[in-house]
Every structure is written in C-alpha cells, then in structure tokens.
Amino acid sequence: MIKVNTDDHPWQSGMTVRNLLDEKVFTFRHIIVRVNSEYVPEEDYENYVIQDGDDIIVLHLMAGG
C-alpha cells in the first residue's frame, strides 16, 4: 500500500510515477510530484519506480489570484 496525498492506494511491484498518475487520472497539465518529500521531475515519471509504503504527494501547479 502507498499513500497518495491523503488516501491509501494499492501498490504494485514495478509501478512507476507515470503508472500512478494514469491510475489516479491526474489530468492537469502542470503537476508537481514528490515521493517521500523528494521532487520527481516530469522527465523521470516513466522510470521512477515507486516502492511499497512510499508517501506520495501530487499537486497541481497553480498561482492564479
């Protein structure tokens, strides 16, 4: 099991950040991903492998006022 923001989410061996974003249907064009507080750049989404128990934060990049 992994944690995504405030929710528990099933973990699968070999799952990548990209797999997770697809599963969770995060559709925003600009997303910030942190795994255990570490920033994951977009170019690493395909290769960054999530481990069981990881704490993942997925946020929209927004700055409007």
Name the residues that contact other proteins, by CB under 8 A.
5-6, 28-30, 32, 34, 37-39, 41, 57, 59-65
- Distance in angstroms (rounded) separating the CA atoms of residues 29 and 35: 19
Q: Which residues contact 55 (CB under 8 A, 6 or more apart)?
A: 2, 3, 35, 36, 37
| Closest CB 2 distance from other proteins, rounded Å | 14
40 vs 50, beta carbon nearer other proteins: 40
| Closest CB 44 distance from other proteins, rounded Å | 12
18 vs 31, beta carbon nearer other proteins: 31
Residue 60, both tokens: 């929209």
The DSSP secondary-structure symbol of 45 reads T
